[in-house]
Amino acid sequence: MSKNFQSPNIFWWILIPGAFITLFLLGYYPGIIPLDKLGASGRSLSQSVSQYRTGLIVGLWATILAHLFEAMLARNICQKHKFDQQSTLLWTIQTFIIAGNKPEEQNAPSVNLSDDEWKKKLTDEEYRILRKKDTEYPGTGKYDKHFEPGTYECAGCGQNLYDSSSKFDSHCGWPAFSSSLAGSVKRHKDEDGYRIEILCRACDGHLGHVFEGEGIRDSNGKIIEERHCVNSASLKFSKKN
């Protein structure tokens, strides 16, 4: 799947195109759908179609134009936030078919740098992990066994991501958090189709992966619902004053 593309339930791919096709047939070829054979209600509907056929055609083309406008708006949003070409194409096509389902401004990264700019801004390790989605070796990160009170920020853009109160020792070799700060992290299904990748919402920097239902318990015996497994190189720590 493309980096920035998310598709809705397939139900909408069937329902909305089906409605378009039905309106087109009723407007231009009303006789092709045997409404008269559906009993009294069918005959009544057939009469209504004949009576309001012009309105159906006008409504059809008005809807198509509205969907086209939404598609162009989706394309502009994608280009504004530098989505990859495949994602832009998929969003444009999907939004034309399913108007209203377009990338949301608040879900797009607010920090957009070119690849060369990221290389200059980040260390080699930070660039390799944040921008190229690599992973540091377990047990090597500086925040794996770090439990000082404070806030963990994105090493790429400074976005606040995790409070130290949510950090726990999962013995996995990477910093682990039970939750992120509200609105700071977004999720995508990984390319392997199984894991869920977590990214900084502000710059789309790769943080790690989130795992659910592992049955891990904290020091008080409470079950932890999910584990954010994060690379230390993706983080910067600010000590609590």
Tell me if 171 is assigned to some domain: yes
Q: What is the pLDDT of residues 51-90, one digit of tens each?
A: 888 888 898 899 889 888 888 888 887 776 666 677 678 7
Tell me if 3 is assigned to some domain: no
Find the domain containing 138 and state its range.
117-239
Which of 46, 80, 107 is a domain's end point?
A: 107
Are residues 132 and 228 located together in one domain of the fold? yes
Are residues 235 and 141 located together in one domain of the fold? yes
List 78, 154, 157, 229, catalytic entry? 229
Tell me if 112 is assigned to some domain: no
The dihedral built from the CA positions of residue 59, 63, 65 and 66, taken in this order, carries a sign that is positive
* Average pLDDT, rounded, for the chain: 83
Are residues 92 and 173 located together in one domain of the fold? no
Tell me if 5 is assigned to some domain: no
Q: Is 172 a catalytic residue?
A: no
Q: What is the pLDDT of residues 175-205, one digit of tens each?
A: 999 999 887 898 888 877 788 999 998 899 9
Structural domain count, the chain: 2
Are residues 87 and 160 located together in one domain of the fold? no
Q: What is the pTM of this model?
A: 0.56
Q: Could you tell me the CATH number of the domain that includes residue 161?
A: 2.170.150.20
* Beta carbons of 129 and 122 less than 8 angstroms apart: no
Tokens representing residue 108 in the block: 């797009």
Q: What is the pLDDT of residues 109-133, one digit of tens each?
A: 567 788 999 999 999 999 999 999 9
Are residues 145 and 227 located together in one domain of the fold? yes
